[in-house]
Chains A and B, each alone.
Chain A
Amino acid sequence: MLQLISLLMENKPGALMRVTGLLSARGYNIESLTVARTLDPELSRMSIVVDVEPNQRAQVIKQMNKLINVLQATDSTEGPAVRRELVLLRVRASMQNRTAILKEAEIFGARAVDSSVEGFALEATGDPEKLDEFIDVMRSYGEIEVTRSGLVVVSLDSKKLKLAPPVSKEEVTQVS
Chain B
Amino acid sequence: MSTNLMNGAQIVLECLAREKVEVIFGYPGGVTLPFYDAIYDSPIKHVLVRHEQNAAFAAQGYSRATGKVGVCCATSGPGATNLVTGLVDAMMDSIPIVAITGQVTSKLIGSDAFQEADTFGITRSGTKHNFLVKTLAELPRAIHEAFHIASTGRPGPVLVDITKDAFQANGHYTPVSSIHLPGYRVYTEGHAGQIRRAAQAMWEAKRPFVYAGGGIIHAGAHDELRQLVEMIDAPAVTTLMGLGGLGANHPNFVSMPGMHGSYAANMGMTETDLLIALGSRFDDRVTGRLSSFAPHAKVIHVDIDPAEVGKIRTPDVPIVGDVKKVLGKILEELEATAPQMKSKNATARAAWWAQIKDWQREHPLEPVFSTDEIKPQHLMAEIDRLSGGEAIVCSDVGQHQMWAAQLIKFNHPRLWINSGGLGSMGFGVPSALGAQFSRPDKLVFAICGDGGFQMSIPELATIANFELPVKIIVMNNGYLGMIRQWQELFYNNRLCSAKLDTFPDPEKLAGAYGFKGRTVERPSQLRQALEEAVNEPGPYLLNVRVSPFENVYPMVPAGGAVNEMVLAPPQPVEVA
Contact = CB atoms under 8 A, between A and B. Distances in A.
Contacts of A21: 124-125
B185 A162 contact: yes
B335 to A, nearest CB: 32
Interface in B215-269: none
Contacts of A173: 18, 175-177
A123 to B, nearest CB: 35
A18 interface: yes
Interface string B161-195: 00000000000000111111111111000000000
Nearest 9 Cβ contacts at the A-B interface: A62-B307, A166-B180, A163-B182, A173-B175, A166-B178, A71-B183, A172-B18, A175-B18, A167-B179
Contacts of B120: 14
A169 B182 contact: no
B179 A10 contact: no
Contact of B182 (A18, A67, A164): A164
21 contacts: A9-B183, A13-B132, A14-B121, A14-B130, A17-B124, A25-B125, A62-B307, A62-B311, A63-B307, A65-B306, A67-B183, A69-B183, A164-B182, A167-B148, A167-B178, A167-B180, A168-B178, A169-B148, A169-B177, A170-B177, A175-B18
Nearest to A170: B177
A153 interface: no
Given A21-B124, A58-B310, A62-B307, A68 B175 contact: no
Contact-residue size bin, chain B (C-beta under 8 Å from the other chain):
20 to 34
Prevailing SS type, chain B contact patch: loop
A163 B17 contact: no
B68 interface: no
Given A166-B178, A173-B177, A10 B19 contact: no
Interface residues of A, number: 32
A13 B305 CA distance: 25
Interface string A142-176: 00000000000000000000111111111011010
B11 to A, nearest CB: 13
A14 B124 contact: yes
A164 B124 contact: no
Given A21-B125, A68-B181, A163-B182, 5 more contacts: A14-B130, A63-B307, A67-B183, A69-B183, A173-B177
Nearest to B134: A13
A66 interface: yes
Contacts of A163: 182-183, 185
Contacts of A96: none
B149 interface: yes
A165 B187 CA distance: 12
Interface in B1-25: 17-20
